[in-house]
C-alpha cells in the first residue's frame, strides 16, 4: 500500500512539472511575437527595396492601332506615335535622362507628352536634356499640375488610399520649359485646336489643361474636329471622364493621358488599386475604349520625389503604331 502511494505521488509530481507556468507561457509568446515581428520587418524591407528599384526599370510598350483611312500612308507600313508622360524629373536622374533620350532611336513620326515633367525646382535642364533628341521631331504637349507646382511631401501609402492631394503653391519654372518646347517646334495643345501635317498624315488635335485641379475649360475647344483630318487626337493630363466624354462626343478618335502612374502601387500582374482620378481602375493604364473613342493612359516614367516607389508597375513609354483600317471596298 505504501509503495502505491509513492507511485501516485510520483505521477502527480511528474504531471505538475510538465505543465508550463504562466511565466513560461508569456516568455514563449514573447519569443513567437519577436520572431514574427522580425520576419515582417525583413519582408517589408525587401518589398520596399524592390519598389524603389522598380522605379528605374524602364520599359517600352508597343501597340498597333488601325485608325487611319486606307491610302493615308502612301505605301508606308505605319505612323509611329510615341506617348510619354509623367517624367517627374529630378536633377541627377541620369539613367532616366539617357533612357528617354534613347527613345529617339525609335524614329517616331510624332511625340506626344501629356505632362507632369517636373518634380524639382531645378529639374528643367535635366528634362530638356532627356527630351532634347525627341524635340527635333514633331511634337504635341499639355501640362499637368506637376509642371506648374512643386510636389509636396506625401506618404507613399496615400496612393493606395487614393485620397486626392492638393497642389502646392510653390511654382515651378514651367514658363521657361514651355518656351523651350515651343522653340524646338513642339506645339502646345492646351485649349487650342490645331491642324497640321506630318508626312502624308493630316492631323487635327486639341487639348485642355489639367482637369484634376479644375484648370480645364473645354468651351475654348468644343466642337467637332476637321472631318478631313486623317487622325483626330485629344490630349489631357488626367483622364477625367467628364472631359473624355466631351472629346468622344465631338468625334476625336484617340485620347492620350497620363497622371495615374498606372496605380503606382499595384497587385501582382499590374492590377491597379487606385487611380487618383475619376477613371476606373480597369482603365488606369494601357489602351481601352471610352464612349466609342480609343483611350491610351500612360503609366508614366517617374514618381514624385517624395514617393519614389513603384510596385508591380514598371515605368514606361508607349510606341503606338497607327496603321490603316482595312479597305472594305477592295474586299
pLDDT in tens, 186-213: 999 999 999 999 999 999 999 999 999 9
Q: Domain limits at 35?
A: 2-39
Q: Residue 89 — φ and ψ, nearest 5°?
A: -70, 140
Assess whether 77 and 24 both reside in one domain.
Answer: no
Assess whether 7 and 135 both reside in one domain.
Answer: no
258-297 exposure pattern, b = at least 16 Cβ within 10 A, e = fewer: bbbbbbbbbeeebebbbbbbebeeebbbbbbebeebbbbb
pLDDT of residue 168: 72
How many other C-beta atoms can be found within 10 angstroms of the C-beta atom of residue 165?
15
pLDDT in tens, 221-262: 999 999 999 999 999 999 999 999 999 999 999 999 999 999
254-257 and 293-297 strand pairing: parallel
Assess whether 9 and 111 both reside in one domain.
Answer: no
Instruction: Please state, in angstroms and rounded to a whole number, the distance separating the CA atoms of residues 235 and 214.
Output: 15
Instruction: Please state, in angstroms and rounded to a whole number, the distance separating the CA atoms of residues 114 and 188.
Output: 10
Least confident of 15-19, 129-133, 170-174, 250-254: 15-19
Assess whether 145 and 235 both reside in one domain.
Answer: yes
Give percent of the chain above pLDDT 70. Answer: 80
Mean pLDDT of the chain: 88
Assess whether 69 and 17 both reside in one domain.
Answer: no
What CATH number did the domain enclosing 280 receive?
Answer: 3.60.21.10
User: Which contacts qualify for 218-224: CB closer than 8 Å, 24 or more apart?
Assistant: 218/243, 218/246, 220/191, 220/192, 221/191, 221/192, 221/193, 222/246, 222/250, 223/193, 223/250, 224/250, 224/251
- Residue among 114, 182, 116 nearest 151 (CA): 116
Assess whether 20 and 146 both reside in one domain.
Answer: no
Instruction: Please state, in angstroms and rounded to a whole number, the distance separating the CA atoms of residues 79 and 65.
Output: 10
Amino acid at each position: 500500500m505504501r509503495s502505491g502511494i509513492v507511485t501516485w505521488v510520483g505521477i502527480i509530481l511528474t504531471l505538475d512539472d510538465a505543465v508550463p507556468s504562466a511565466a513560461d507561457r508569456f516568455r514563449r509568446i514573447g519569443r513567437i511575437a519577436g520572431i514574427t515581428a522580425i520576419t515582417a520587418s525583413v519582408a517589408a524591407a525587401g518589398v520596399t527595396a524592390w519598389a524603389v528599384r522598380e522605379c528605374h526599370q524602364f520599359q517600352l510598350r508597343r501597340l498597333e492601332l488601325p485608325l487611319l483611312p486606307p491610302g493615308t500612308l502612301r505605301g508606308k507600313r505605319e505612323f509611329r506615335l510615341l506617348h510619354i508622360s509623367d517624367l517627374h524629373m529630378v536633377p541627377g536622374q541620369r539613367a532616366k535622362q539617357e533612357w528617354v533620350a534613347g527613345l529617339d532611336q525609335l524614329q517616331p513620326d510624332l511625340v506626344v507628352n501629356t505632362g507632369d515633367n517636373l518634380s524639382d525646382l531645378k529639374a528643367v535642364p535635366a528634362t530638356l536634356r532627356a527630351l532634347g533628341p525627341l524635340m527635333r521631331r514633331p511634337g504635341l504637349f499639355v501640362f499637368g499640375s506637376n509642371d506648374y507646382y512643386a510636389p509636396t511631401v506625401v506618404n507613399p501609402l496615400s496612393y493606395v488610399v487614393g485620397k486626392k492631394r492638393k497642389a502646392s503653391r510653390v511654382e515651378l519654372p514651367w514658363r521657361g520649359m514651355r518656351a523651350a518646347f515651343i522653340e524646338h517646334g513642339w506645339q502646345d495643345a492646351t485649349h487650342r485646336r490645331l491642324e497640321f501635317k506630318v508626312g502624308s498624315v493630316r492631323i487635327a488635335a486639341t487639348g485642355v489643361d489639367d482637369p484634376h485641379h479644375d484648370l480645364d475649360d473645354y468651351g475654348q475647344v468644343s466642337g467637332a474636329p476637321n472631318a478631313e483630318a486623317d487622325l483626330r487626337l485629344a490630349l489631357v493630363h488626367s483622364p477625367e471622364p467628364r472631359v473624355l466624354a466631351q472629346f468622344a462626343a465631338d468625334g476625336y478618335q484617340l485620347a492620350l493621358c497620363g497622371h495615374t502612374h498606372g496605380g503606382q502601387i499595384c497587385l501582382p500582374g499590374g492590377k491597379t488599386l487606385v487611380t487618383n482620378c475619376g477613371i476606373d481602375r480597369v482603365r488606369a493604364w494601357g489602351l481601352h475604349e471610352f464612349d466609342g473613342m480609343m483611350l491610351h493612359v500612360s503609366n508614366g516614367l517617374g514618381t514624385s520625389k517624395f514617393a519614389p516607389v513603384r510596385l508591380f508597375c514598371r515605368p514606361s513609354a508607349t510606341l503606338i503604331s497607327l496603321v490603316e483600317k482595312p479597305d472594305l471596298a477592295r474586299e
